[in-house]
Chain A
Amino acid sequence: MILSSRVLGRAGNAGPNSRINIGIVGLGNISRGHRGFCLTQDATQVVALCDVRRQALDKAVAEAKAKGSTACGAYNDYRELCARPDIDAVVVCTPDHWHAAVSIEAMRNGKDVYVEKPMTLTIEEGKAMRAAAGRYGRVLQVGSQQRSNQSFRKAAELVRNGYIGKVHTIVCMLGEFPPATQLPEMPVPEGFDYDRWLGPAPWEPFNPERVLGSFAGGWRCFWEYGSRKNGDWGAHHFDIVQWALGMDESGPEYFVPKGYEGATHQYHSYAKGPKVIRDGDGRKAMIRFIGDEGEVRVSRGDKFETDPAGLKNLLPKPDDVLLYESRDHRMDWINSIRTRQQPICHVGIGHRTATICHLSGIAERLGRPVKWDPAAERILDDPAASRMMDRPRRAGYSLPI
């Protein structure tokens, strides 16, 4: 095998050890950690930032420049950022209703993508993103970063390998947002491209509460821009449940909203497996797996308990399934960009987890159960629910191919 000199970096191409040029779209709360990471790693450099809020954009660009990204570009329109040929990868930190459009635009321009969780706003968007990643040969990591935590991995591994017997119940703590009330119209602040913030979502008058980036509410309360708590925490906990049950290529089949025929809690169930109950048991743990031979409880902060207690330190047996190990979610993405291997929470996984979040949301909004065929990826026997697998997009904001 003979390689050309240009391949070797001797004719103007980037040579060995070149850094990964990153563009970041969306500069709210969640992007801080990503910016901090990308600005401080030897492997990466931030070359472009994008936000529809000029003030936030200017501030972030100034910060990036102060930290050494002296040529960092500033963009209001993510399409201009994605069109830059020198950018290798894009981090998508927008509100959820923009995830799919920005990610696909980046991938069709040859960029790898890290997209915050939940991966999408609708099930059809997930299918489109999965197709785009395959079509354009891109690496996409979804920010369900609990997969890269050792306690969650160990918990999932114990469950997967049957150490607590047959799992019959799983309890996930998601909490609740306040309702998305009607908001009076207020003037759009100077420098805020509100039309682009809304993007594909239905037009509504501006109100600061609507666009507020707050982990306690803000835009996260609105079905138009997110999936409320099912998407917010469900994208983390349901993701671990999928992993633990070995269902990353499939999913549950029946979704029941809280209140339906006296149901005290929202739940979904797998065909041959357990029932996953939302917010069911007095906050013992973020996720509680209950089997007929034991129990595993795991929470953030490496709070990890088992019954029997000895399970916690059990070493896997030779025939056990060993789950993908990542100790740093962002670094795992960087490694995948380099090796062209799938990252720990790739687009297919992110889509299946987001599907659970969305189906739970559809059941909640309709106030009735939803039946799902995970193989065919379609809702059964409910035409109105089926039409909620996607949403119309506002003129000018159709999904790219």
Chain B
Amino acid sequence: MKFLIPLLILAVQARALETAAVTAVASKFGNPSPEEQYNARVELNRLIDDATAPGKNEHAAVTRALCAVLQNKEIPREARKYILRAMTRVATADAVDCLAAMLNGDDALLKEEARQVLESIHDLKAIAALESALRKAADKREKLPFAGSLAVQRADSAVPLLAALAADPDVETARAGLDALAEISGDPAVAALKQAYAEGKVTPAARVDLERALLVASSGDGQVARELYQTTGSDTVRLAAFTAMMTGGENDAAMIEQAVKSEHAGIRRAALACGIEMKLPSLESGLAHAMEQMPVEDRMVVLANIHHLNSKETAGKIALSRVAADDENERVAAIMALGRIGTQPAFDAVLQALGDRRPPVNQAAASALAGMDYPEAGAALLARLQGDSSEDKILAIKALQFRHVPGANAFLMEIIASDDPAASKEAMKALYFIATLDDLRAMCAKATATADAARRKSLASICSRIASRINTDEARALLKPLD
């Protein structure tokens, strides 16, 4: 006991100091200068934040000090406003009585700030104060903010109060109650929403809000989602219910097969994506034919997912059938799909698209080639580099700017020296972008060794450009013999 008394005195002194410090800062808000008021705000926040830093364990003492200042009639209103705002991050249940009293005051702004502080104190006492305020509220304008605060508090105890709001004939009030129940979402809230749904307790105008609230609150309950999917009259709730079914273990084949025939575009497209990803045999078998009849938007969804099909051959055939589509976006989607499919016909088609003059198409082909999981790509490109067809050679050279193929650069150097001017030009362009220091060394040696002055000049020129791109002393030194 003899140790406790000095400790208590110290605690009271600390609290008194805290109150005095806050009062001193708060009084500065009386200064009409905006600069002084701003400084007071900064000082107030710093005082509170320092006092509630980790390890200090003074939240309750600080809360009591702030409440003492709030109750001081001499403190300017502006100071009270900012004290209340700071309290949203530090106040404990010790502030509830003070804040609840403020809810009965005349100052609308401070009442609102006090509500917000109560909302931030996660304690049963604060919840009780908010529930009491909701019960006492005279009209809709006063009630709804408290419903929102109880939702933020996830207050199970408030469910009966909020369920009563949900049944209100006024749509805005009913929505506020339903949204609050959805946000609370625990068992009591779900039970209240299920009951309202079963008993038709809401007005027709709030029916969609009830369905949405039930869906949100019972998140992960596939059966609720299925029930809503089958019964709702709202397109958005139906789509949300379908989405919930897909993620809630209710994604059976029959339901997806039905959904791909839906008139609701969103559901149809979600079903197409899901069905293809699930590799549903029934979907796969008729997809090539169905593609011909689908809207382009549906085909885009198919193309984005088609690489999931069991048969790469089927997937490839479908994607290939859209490579020449009228719609440029679809054409691009088909090329990207081929990149993900990664078979030989897919590779050939993507390589062909690389030569397309339209930037969206050749850029898609470049991306598809770069990322294509087709191990034979390197050998296929090397074979083209050595083939007779100039057109094939040029496409292969273009591809080398996007896909690393070991050993290819040596062939490019040979092509530069060949009698195919178009391929030679393309090879020089490619080497400028991809030649390594070793390639530069080889090219410089070749240039130095050549007796043909024109050819030497041409090689020296490309070497110089490559060295400039590599931009190291070593690269620049390689050019010296060519000077």
- Residues in chain A within 8 A of chain B (CB atoms): 1-4, 6-9, 13-18, 43, 85, 108-110, 134-137, 179, 181-184, 202-203, 308-310, 312-313, 315-318, 322, 325, 327, 335, 338-341, 365-368, 381-385, 387-388, 391-396, 398, 400-401
Contact of B212 among A13, A340, A388, A401 (CB under 8 A): A401
A135, closest chain B residue (CB): B240
Given A203-B109, A309-B469, A137-B88 contact (CB < 8 Å): no
Which residues of A have CB within 8 Å of B109? 203
Would you give the shortest CB distance from A299 to chain B, in whole angstroms? 18
Given A309-B470, A316-B370, A387-B297 contact (CB < 8 Å): no
Other 14 A-B pairs with CB < 8 A, given A393-B116, A398-B152: A1-B282, A1-B285, A4-B263, A7-B261, A13-B265, A137-B243, A137-B266, A182-B35, A310-B470, A366-B53, A384-B52, A392-B152, A395-B115, A395-B145
Chain B contacts with A in 34-66, Cβ cutoff 8 A? 34-35, 37-38, 41, 45-46, 49-50, 52-54, 59
Q: Is the CB of A179 within 8 A of B38?
A: yes
Q: Is the CB of A137 within 8 A of B239?
A: yes
Given A17-B327, A341-B304, A392-B88, A367-B433 contact (CB < 8 Å): no
Given A13-B263, A315-B402, A340-B273 contact (CB < 8 Å): yes
Would you give the shortest CB distance from B403 to chain A, in whole angstroms? 7
Q: Is the CB of A400 within 8 A of B219?
A: no
Which residues of B have CB within 8 Å of A387? 88-90, 120
Q: List 26 A-B contacts (CB under 8 A).
A: A1-B261, A1-B283, A3-B293, A7-B298, A13-B263, A15-B295, A17-B327, A18-B297, A108-B236, A108-B240, A135-B243, A135-B244, A137-B239, A181-B35, A184-B34, A202-B85, A308-B472, A316-B404, A317-B404, A338-B297, A367-B46, A383-B59, A391-B88, A392-B119, A393-B148, A394-B116
- A198–B472 alpha-carbon span in the complex (Å): 56
Which residues of A have CB within 8 Å of B130? none
Which residues of A have CB within 8 Å of B144? 395-396
Cβ-based interface call for B296 (8 A): yes
Which residues of B have CB within 8 Å of A340? 269-270, 273, 301, 304
Cβ-based interface call for B216 (8 A): yes
Which residues of A have CB within 8 Å of B298? 7
Given A388-B89, A395-B115, A365-B235 contact (CB < 8 Å): no
- A340–B275 alpha-carbon span in the complex (Å): 14
Which residues of A have CB within 8 Å of B240? 108, 135-137
Main SS at interface, chain A: loop
Cβ-based interface call for B314 (8 A): no
Which residues of B have CB within 8 Å of A385? 89
Complex interface bits, B342-376 against A, C-beta within 8 A gives 1, otherwise 0 = 00000000000000000000010001001100000
Which residues of B have CB within 8 Å of A341? 304
Which residues of A have CB within 8 Å of B459? none
Would you give the shortest CB distance from B24 to chain A, in whole angstroms? 19
Cβ-based interface call for B471 (8 A): yes
Which residues of B have CB within 8 Å of A366? 49, 53
Given A136-B236, A309-B471, A335-B329, A182-B37 contact (CB < 8 Å): yes
Chain B contacts with A in 190-240, Cβ cutoff 8 A? 212-213, 215-216, 219, 235-236, 239-240
Would you give the shortest CB distance from A147 to chain B, in whole angstroms? 14
B268, closest chain A residue (CB): A7
Cβ-based interface call for B416 (8 A): no
Q: Is the CB of B472 within 8 A of A309?
A: yes
A366, closest chain B residue (CB): B49
Q: Is the CB of B290 within 8 A of A395?
A: no
Would you give the shortest CB distance from A272 to chain B, in whole angstroms? 24
Would you give the shortest CB distance from B300 to chain A, in whole angstroms? 4
- A339–B116 alpha-carbon span in the complex (Å): 42
Q: Is the CB of A182 within 8 A of B34?
A: yes
Cβ-based interface call for B390 (8 A): no
Cβ-based interface call for B294 (8 A): yes
- A312–B435 alpha-carbon span in the complex (Å): 12
Given A137-B266, A182-B41, A394-B112, A400-B179 contact (CB < 8 Å): yes
B242, closest chain A residue (CB): A137
